[in-house]
Amino acid sequence: MPKATQHELRLAGRMSRLGNESAFEVLQRARALEGQGKHIIHLEIGEPDFETPQNIVQAGIEALQKGWTHYGPAVGYPELRQTIAHEVARTRRVPVSANEVVVVPGGKPIMFYTLLALADVGDEVIYPNPGFPIYESMIRYVNARPVPVPLREEKDFSFDVNELASLINHKTKLIILNSPQNPTGGVLTKQDIHDIADVIGDRNIMVLSDEIYSRLVFEGEHHSIMSEPDLKDRTIMLDGFSKTYAMTGWRMGYGVMRSDLAEHISLLITNSTSCTSSFTQIAGIEALRGDQSSVDKMRSEFKRRRDAFVAGLNQIKGFSCRMPHGAFYAFPNITATGWKSKPLADVLLDQAGVASLSGASFGEYGEGYLRFSVANSMENLMQALERIEQWTKTNL
């Protein structure tokens, strides 16, 4: 990095433990190649390629015009919290009250605040690997000990409950679950959730359940650990608006947790962002209460693309891809190409003009895989397959 001044930058030690999200790095590299006149197909970034539905945009515009432009309560407006409580109670089939809901700018802050609030130095935090890179980054940042649970392809990228059981000990403070999962598209079944709950038993361990893709399940239903008897009070459920309503840039998500923990998170919010933007929250009420047909349309379009893209990947030499049952990613095994993940992702970007992510950027157990987002048009997805196939024919 270039020096900004002649004075040495004396960062806090903890900054060296903070990780990054490679999707943003690859996007930057891809943009640089585009700057040189190359044509790139973007399958690296994890956001819906659809516009935010019109009814939600309209509600946001009206909220701005009506003056929803000031500070609001740290944990969100009561009406939105109530609406979220109602929605979560309906979808997870458990009673939820508004004071158990915390509204924040995106799903990510719930990870940040949960780890700040719960994990002490030396506490162990179990998390999925490969998994969303921010989990490990934040665990390290707070100086807790990251304990990865490998997600294995032969188990359809679900949790191996026996492995989970072997990792739990008296230092375990928190277990992070994510279903549907980024990057594998794996989905925890009702039985998986039940078995995980059994393994936790009545230990005083909290669970951060990242359910940001809960409305993007293609086969079967979404199941949450918060629905398990006795686990609701030990669960912090993360969900939000980014993926479900194509609202990534609005920055709004929420956590559902016991009300005493919500009060501590409220204090963290007061010490950082103050609150989530007010007009955004009014649009959020419309998102949850209004017409849901756009959510269904997006889901069926992602499913159509998933089917075609996974079938296409399986025709390419060296690639084999399980069917992901949720989210909008394909996670093919590329070991038969003889390449490691990162060099293959790099070379496909540079030589084939297809941007993807190395599985290893999601943790060591992601080595041997690439992640492609199907949040792009069918035409682009088909063109990406052609380019990759062409590259493999020339180079493998």
Ligand X SMILES: Cc1ncc(COP(=O)(O)O)c(C=O)c1O
Report the interface residues with ligand X, using CB under 6 A. Answer: 46, 106-108, 132, 178, 182, 210, 212, 240, 242, 248, 253
CB of 214 to ligand X, least distance (A): 11
- Is 218:298 a contact under the CB 8 Å cutoff? no
Please, which residue, 106 or 324, has the CB nearer to ligand X? 106
CB of 215 to ligand X, least distance (A): 13
- DSSP H/E element including 192: helix 190-200
CB of 363 to ligand X, least distance (A): 13
Q: Measured at CB, which residue is nearest to ligand X?
A: 106
CB of 378 to ligand X, least distance (A): 22
- Among residues 330, 333, 337, 325, the alpha carbon closest in space to that of 366 is found at 333
- DSSP H/E element including 28: helix 22-35
Please, which residue, 114 or 337, has the CB nearer to ligand X? 114
Q: Which residues contact 67 (CB under 8 A, 6 or more apart)?
A: none
DSSP state of 253: E
Locus of tokens 């989210």: 327
CB of 27 to ligand X, least distance (A): 12
Please, which residue, 182 or 376, has the CB nearer to ligand X? 182
What is the C-alpha to C-alpha distance for residues 359 and 371, in angstroms, rounded to an integer?
Answer: 6
DSSP letter for each residue of 292-360:
-HHHHHHHHHHHHHHHHHHHHHTTSTT-B-----BTTEE--B-GGGT--HHHHHHHIIIII-EE-EEGG
Please, which residue, 255 or 353, has the CB nearer to ligand X? 255
Please, which residue, 108 or 325, has the CB nearer to ligand X? 108
CB of 181 to ligand X, least distance (A): 7
| Alpha-carbon distance values, 347 to 28, 340, 362, 387 (Å) | 16, 11, 19, 12
CB of 46 to ligand X, least distance (A): 4
Please, which residue, 224 or 242, has the CB nearer to ligand X? 242
Please, which residue, 185 or 353, has the CB nearer to ligand X? 185
Structure tokens at 241: 């608006």
What is the C-alpha to C-alpha distance for residues 136 and 131, in angstroms, rounded to an integer?
Answer: 9
